Structure 1
Amino acid sequence: MGHSIEDELTPDIIEAALPYLSIEDIKNLSLTNKYFHKLLDFEKSDTLWHELFRKSFGSMHSDAEPLESKENAQYMSCCEAILRNRFPDESWGQLYRKRALNATFHTWGSLKHARLGFTAVSHGSLPIEVINNAGMRLQFGINAPVPVPWYSSEEGQSQPFDDKSIASVSAGGFSFQILTKSGKLYSTGSTYSGGHRGPGTVEGEHDYNPFQELIVRTERSLALFNGRTPRAGGVVPINTTSSMPLERPHENIYARLEDVEQALDQKVLGNKHVRRLFARDVLNVDPQVPHHVSVESEELDKIKFQALSSGRSHFLALSTEGELYSWDGPDVEQGIRIVLERIPVKTSNPIVKIGCGWNYNCVSVYKIGLVVWSSRSATKENEPFATANYKIIPNTGEVSGDDKVVDFACCANMCVFFITANGDQLKLYANGEMQNVDLPLDGKLVKIVGCYTMLAIFTTRSCYTVNVVDGQILPQSLIRLELEDNEDMFISLSTGDYHTIALTSKGKMYTWGLESELCGCLGLGNREEIVNARRIGRIENLRSTRVIKPSLVKLANADYVCLAVTAGGWQTGALILS
């Protein structure tokens, strides 16, 4: 006598399998039969909506959150914890809709290079009091959170819901990177690198650039025409007699390139300061036709991203297919696919977590461990990928048990901290050596966050920061961060060059540090507000203000809910429920 499917695949088995299925797989499974439809009811199943929430907004694949382990199997991402805390009576379906529909991106800080995703002129609705200036002509920065213009309707145009819903944000030294629920990647401002080299090609090497090569070959071939060079506007001088030069219109030799450039030049509707980024893999470089470059519009969406992380002048993105892409220098407009030679990443050893240090990269590879690199090979003609010049941090490849690495944090110059599942020991890999770090911490280690010269350590009971210099912890700099509200605690933290922003379990933002050149990166108001009205800071010099202790960022809605924070360079960003 046969067994029914209810006996073979009990609800607990189905629930355990959900994390390994894509959203599309889950939808298809729910349509298979009545049993699966009942278990995976998109209207009533709280378990299902929680899993969909985690897949869309609780990714563990970037350094924003630790990996799951036996010890923290019930770990919630910061966004999950805050929503569950602030809206305890709402279902996961309701929380999913709230997160997807109402989370808006706010930025503040330096206005240089339009890194905030807008300028003082382009935004159109900036109150004068949020602009730090010295006279009407000098506008330095924005001193309070301001929503970034995001897909406003233009001439009846509409955008798919998943394209408008922001999944995560990350800040580099000179820009923000934005990842949508649909897997599209965007960057703010005119430059992500600030003109600085990232962990790209080694000194003296250069990537093969199909655009540049096509331009050079086209101009060179045309220059041979009557021994002359085309003038601006596609006009070529020709001689009909030996004494009278005439001009005639010539076919636009750059038409093919202009078509490709136009296809790749996608901006957010209503905001020219937020542009979409693509991987070089979307380009068609025909090996049978030398230097032929094209792009098909239907191919632009073939690569979708699921995680991102930003360094000072570079960033990484992980695709849903498990491929790694790097934007790592002023000449890299399209992301370069990074290959880890001798590691079969997409098959037996997938990348499970990515992170960017100040000037290098670190990824966690299943069964291999933590892989770090600060340079890569140059791309070649007909080879759009590059190989990372990597090292594997020893003894970091365990996939289960107490020694499984669940989180890592990157500071400057190949200085990597990591913690394992047992949460007892902070470990440091720096200057090619491994060491244990002993600090007087209260509670088990559950999460760490790194930046240029600071490490944040989260335990089951508290949050600490400690300074890092030349690959060494400065124990005397250890600070325990505490809040006056005993029912609230810091659960996330991010730092820029000289300032820090922290997020609490109730969704409140606190900032402190140095606000240089009136850039406004603390978001605490203008200097008068910080120094005289709230008395939380002091004047450091002519245009700089310092705030020593974590201070609450205030919004017009005092009961606001922030879901994520990020800081980089002289700017800060946050996802806030509108």
Structure 2
Amino acid sequence: FGSKPTPLNLSNYNWKELFKLRSSNQVQLYTWGSSQLGRLGYLLSEAPSENITNSGILKNVHTPTNLVTFNGIIVSDISAGGFSFQILTNEGDLYFTGVDWKKGERSTLTPGPFKAFDYKPTAASIPHVESLGSRRSLNGMLMPFMGRRYDRNIEVPTSNPSSDRQSNSNLTKPPEQLDLSLPSQTGSTVKHQKKVKETNLVTKLLLPDNPEFPDRYIISISSGREHIIAIDNYQNIISWDTGNTSNVGVHINFEGLKYNSINKISAGWNLLACYINHIGIVVWYSRSSVTKESFEDNTMCSNANYLIIPNTGNCKIDDFHAGCDFILYIKDGLLMRFNLHTYGYASGSTDINLVEDPFPVLGFDQWLNNYNIDNNGKASFTKITGCYNNFSVFTNDGMVLLGKKVSTEEESEEPPIIIPQLQKNHIIHVVMGDYHYMALTDEGDLYSWGTESSRCGCLGLGAKDQFISQNSSNSVVTDLGPGKGMLVHNPSLVKSPSANGKWLAITASGWNSGGIFIPK
């Protein structure tokens, strides 16, 4: 079910019930926060009026609001980038919300192609076709709407012949050779699940139509500021970044590396990383541009400009996280950090052979040592989450530590931030945006805190004035002023969209938040 954890306490639910919940088409997708560029996936006119901020020129959504496009769809995972959400369905299809997953037109930024654009055919080189399948379809590729806004959503086809995984082989066989067996779950014959109907603010991302990899589908996703990576069922990495010329992803190759499987992917703010057994943590800061030949044969291949973090290949890496110009990872139960000069490596202004050695994050490791001494325990770090320069680290006995990237190795001695309400309180996941945080419990409850900038609504706690009025006597919140947002000091419960429902997964980035919810 994607990369996010499944909540709900196992003492209350067995594995069969957990599977039933996560594979249910009753799950609902919710988004809230800034509404700029349609990133919530719906028009404000489609959201309940009571969920929308009532002041300011720009209207935003302050309460979790259902993205109805995905109702009736089994949603496996949700991830958030700087300008859109990415939604992975149970059938391995990937969609993004908003007008684009990046800020604007294609550009040369890390971790995309830095020195040249991907090949794009000119108008003169495009052969004449009698008709286009939709306003997004051009020569078999779905093109994003760039910067357009509409007062209503127009449904478009979800696929075209060139994007189907495989044609039905029975169409070319005589009657005595027909295959009458039942289709596999991930096969290319007619699927039983309801289809996602694309709109102006929900668009499907496509995999390269490479005959070497039939019946491709996505099994895991991760999002950075203006880029997305995914693993397919062949253990290939596919990327969508600032260099893409369409909604078709780019197949990332690592020249010189041979591997059978990828353990995990992580999209940082301006770089990408994956962990491969016996090779280590592979980080790439840019890629080569897609050539005309690769474009025309539909392979869409690109070589990553990568490095391998020293001493991560022949040891146990429990988890890792990609941030902005750094990688955090847990090695032998302790927290380590590796710095990169991402822009310098991509531009050639910094010698890639002069990479720094990883170093321990002493403030966290010293805290863990003291914690174990004080409690006569053997706790270790097990999990990392984060966004930009902020991160969280979990221990195997329920402690949750927050931190922020510091500039130098010497500053790494700064101790972690400990929020009492998070400690040994069944927290299983923490996500964060620019200035706000959310935590998910194993009972399916959601808490949020931090700064809600310019009344963007990212905390999901409802209207600012009402929340401040309800908490005026307990020092939970500070009003940042008229027309501005609020600072919520303590984790506060986000009201469930329906009574007794449970949150199954959460995500956040920038001034936005989202989650997968199942009503009861």
- TM-score after normalising by structure 1: 0.68
How does 1:132-143 map onto structure 2 within 5 Å? 132-134=53-55, 138-143=57-62
**Hey, which of these two has a bigger chunk of helix by percent?**
1
Q: Distance in 2 between matches of 1:378 and 1:270?
A: 29
Equivalent in the alignment of 1:49: none
Equivalent in the alignment of 1:148: 67
Structure 2 residue 421 is matched with structure 1 residue 483 = yes
Mark the runs of 5 or more structure 1 residues left unpaired by the alignment.
1-56, 65-77, 153-160, 220-250, 285-298
Q: Distance in 1 between matches of 2:90 and 2:214?
A: 13
Q: Distance in 2 between matches of 1:321 and 1:368?
A: 18
The 3 A distance-change label for structure 1 pair 476 and 392 is closer
Structure 2 residue 392 is matched with structure 1 residue 456 = yes
Q: How far has the Cα of 1:466 moved from its partner?
A: 0.9
Q: Secondary structure of the residue that 1:84 maps to in structure 2?
A: coil
Q: Secondary structure of the residue that 2:53 maps to in structure 1?
A: strand
Structure 2 residue 470 is matched with structure 1 residue 529 = no
Q: 1:428 aligns with which of 337, 354, 357?
A: 337
Q: Distance in 2 between matches of 1:363 and 1:266?
A: 34
Answer whether contact 2:361 2:412 (CA < 8 A) is retained: no
Q: Distance in 1 between matches of 2:386 and 2:412?
A: 14
Equivalent in the alignment of 1:397: 313
Q: How far has the Cα of 1:127 moved from its partner?
A: 2.7
How does 1:460-475 map onto structure 2 within 5 Å? 460-461=396-397, 462-470=399-407, 475=413
Equivalent in the alignment of 2:288: 377
Answer whether contact 2:111 2:270 (CA < 8 A) is retained: no
Answer whether contact 2:110 2:270 (CA < 8 A) is retained: yes
Q: 1:343 aligns with which of 257, 269, 277?
A: 257
How does 1:49-128 map onto structure 2 within 5 Å? 57=1, 59=2, 62=3, 64=4, 78-79=5-6, 81-82=7-8, 84-85=10-11, 87-88=12-13, 91-101=14-24, 102-121=26-45, 123=46, 126-128=47-49
Equivalent in the alignment of 1:216: 124
The 3 A distance-change label for structure 1 pair 558 and 375 is same
The 3 A distance-change label for structure 1 pair 320 and 145 is same
Q: How far has the Cα of 1:83 moved from its partner?
A: 5.0
Equivalent in the alignment of 1:291: none
Answer whether contact 1:149 1:271 (CA < 8 A) is retained: no
Mark the runs of 5 or more structure 2 residues left unpaired by the alignment.
145-155, 159-195, 295-299, 341-355, 372-378
Structure 2 residue 227 is matched with structure 1 residue 314 = yes
Structure 2 residue 460 is matched with structure 1 residue 551 = no
Q: Distance in 1 between matches of 2:198 and 2:407?
A: 44
Q: Distance in 1 between matches of 2:390 and 2:143?
A: 41
- TM-score after normalising by structure 2: 0.75
In the alignment, residue 140 of structure 1 is paired with which amino acid? K
Q: Distance in 1 between matches of 2:336 and 2:89?
A: 34
Structure number, greater radius of gyration = 1
Answer whether contact 1:408 1:418 (CA < 8 A) is retained: yes
Q: Secondary structure of the residue that 2:401 maps to in structure 1?
A: strand
Q: Distance in 2 between matches of 1:405 and 1:375?
A: 24
The 3 A distance-change label for structure 1 pair 506 and 131 is same
Q: How far has the Cα of 1:300 moved from its partner?
A: 11
Deviations 1:308-339 (A, max 9, x none): 00011111000011110011116443210000
Q: 1:410 aligns with which of 317, 322, 340?
A: 322
Q: Distance in 1 between matches of 2:271 and 2:90?
A: 27
**Percent sequence identity over matched residues?**
30
The 3 A distance-change label for structure 1 pair 459 and 394 is same
Answer whether contact 2:53 2:455 (CA < 8 A) is retained: yes
Q: How far has the Cα of 1:217 moved from its partner?
A: 2.5
Structure 2 residue 149 is matched with structure 1 residue 260 = no
Answer whether contact 2:433 2:509 (CA < 8 A) is retained: yes
Answer whether contact 2:111 2:284 (CA < 8 A) is retained: no
Farther off after superposition, 255-264 or 104-113? 255-264
Answer whether contact 2:327 2:338 (CA < 8 A) is retained: yes
Q: Secondary structure of the residue that 1:382 maps to in structure 2?
A: helix
Equivalent in the alignment of 1:5: none
The 3 A distance-change label for structure 1 pair 566 and 556 is closer
Equivalent in the alignment of 1:577: 518
